[in-house]
Amino acid sequence: MAQLEPIHIKVDKKMIAPIVLMPGDPLRAKYIAETFLENAILINSIRNMLGYTGTYKGVRVTVIGSGMGMPSMGIYSYELFTFYNVEKIIRIGTCGANKEDINVSDLIVPDSAYSESNIAYTFSDYPNKFTYPSKELNNVIIETAKEMNYKIHRGTILTLDIFGPYVDEERIINRVPRNVDIIGEEMEAFGLFHIANYCGKEAACILTVTDSKYSSLVLSDEEREKNLNNMILLALNSIIKDNN
């Protein structure tokens, strides 16, 4: 039986915007609020999962961390959709690349997420290994990327229950059906897409590539910040376009 009140986010419903950006790291939410939003105020700090609401070019937006992995993403996205009347969530995170032509610092906008996880089946008896973002919201992001002259890669992202670099990722990827073209891997998108679809809401995902099995390149702190800023700006400007 669902909880009648949210447990992990506690704030007046009016304090959360209908469109939410969700980085994994709550400190990145703080950075986004302080760097890009006007009149941003702290609206959640339970368990140090920081959330802020402010405006970007006159449009109200909330940014809040999701934590790491699908269980954490599932909790926060479900509470936002169910208890706070959020209509759209854009995950902004990092991933590893699985294609030689996708470079470190490139942007990925997944068309689908594939996972071996049982989280969707446990949540609502959903038996499939694919979940999907909102086509409409994805199209807005794609059009915005074109307007901003940002190159993006599209395709299927692999969502793992573990942090890929700590295990033999190839062993997992080799279990994926050969007709599924995995372009990268991360830990949250599959869960977010399922929760959104279950709740009748919209979700999308923008990822910055921070590592690749085809490259030894490691981004400096300055390079990492700049490239994450490109992803953040793409998400924020997509909100503006979607709001018009």
Reduced DSSP (H G I as helix, E B as strand, rest coil) percent helix, strand, coil of the chain, to 5: 40, 30, 35
Two tokens, residue 123: 């949540």
CA distances from 43 to 38, 79, 180, 243 (A): 14, 14, 40, 22
pLDDT tens sequence across 138-169? 999 999 999 999 999 999 999 999 988 888 88
Task: Kindly report the pTM of this predicted structure.
Answer: 0.95
Nearest to 99 by CA among 164, 179, 157, 165: 157
Indicate which residues carry an active-site annotation: 211
Full 3-state SS string of 49-75: CCEEEEEECCEEEEEECCCCCHHHHHH
CATH superfamily assigned to domain 13-243: Nucleoside phosphorylase domain (3.40.50.1580)
Tens-digit pLDDT profile for residues 166-219: 888 889 999 999 999 999 999 999 999 999 999 999 999 999 999 898 888 877
In the structure, what pLDDT confidence band is assigned to residue 243 with cuts at 50, 70 and 90? confident
